[in-house]
Amino acid sequence: MTTPQKISRFLPLTFPNGNRISRFAKACPHCHGMVTAREMEGLARLLHDKIVLAAEAECPDCHRRFPVTCVISDDKRVHRVRMPLWLFRIWLKLALRNLPEPQLQEDWSVPEEAPRAGIRLANNAEITRSSEVLGQFDGTPISAWLEVDGRRFVFERALPPAGQLCLSDSELLFEGKLVYKPA
Ligand SMILES: [Zn+2]
């Protein structure tokens, strides 16, 4: 779960092009005082090359609350989102569902759902490797198929070194980097 936090906790965010957003503020629509990210509660996350932000702000001067919904492009321009805050939040949560949780400040809430890790290979599993080798990945020979306790799996893909471990329920991770699927 992604829990609303002070927007300042999400910052700085760095775009893939190196531009960085370390501060964010908006004028209060009621008294025109400056409302900073510390007075906004919601979500701000980097989605590809854009930062999306959905928050509710409380003006420190007039104490009125107002929604802040915007997209910041990697040229640091802020674009308004014409969508009610509740709808934008739902959209943002859906968009974030498939993204890994970033390593943020210490009391960032831990996601409740563990990433899907496919079939767990038991320590005592009996593994037969095919004599056919497809090639090598990262120094490890890639067997065309594996038989695990009599069940055959065929090689599907290799995980890049910093790859996200996200396997479907029927996939098997072998030697920490090779993904097999049921034959
Ligand atoms: Zn105000």
For residue 135, report the distance from its CA to the centre of ligand 1, in Å: 64
For residue 136, report the distance from its CA to the centre of ligand 1, in Å: 62
From the list 21, 46, 20, 24, the residue with the least C-alpha distance to 37 is 24
107-119: per-residue pLDDT in tens? 333 333 444 567 7
119-132: per-residue pLDDT in tens? 777 777 888 999 99
For residue 59, report the distance from its CA to the centre of ligand 1, in Å: 5
Q: Where do the structural domains in the chain lie, given as residue ranges?
A: 5-96, 117-182
For residue 5, report the distance from its CA to the centre of ligand 1, in Å: 21
For residue 27, report the distance from its CA to the centre of ligand 1, in Å: 8
The pTM of the full predicted model, rounded to 2 decimals, is: 0.50
Collect all residues with Cβ–Cβ distance below 8 Å to 82 and sequence separation of at least 6: none
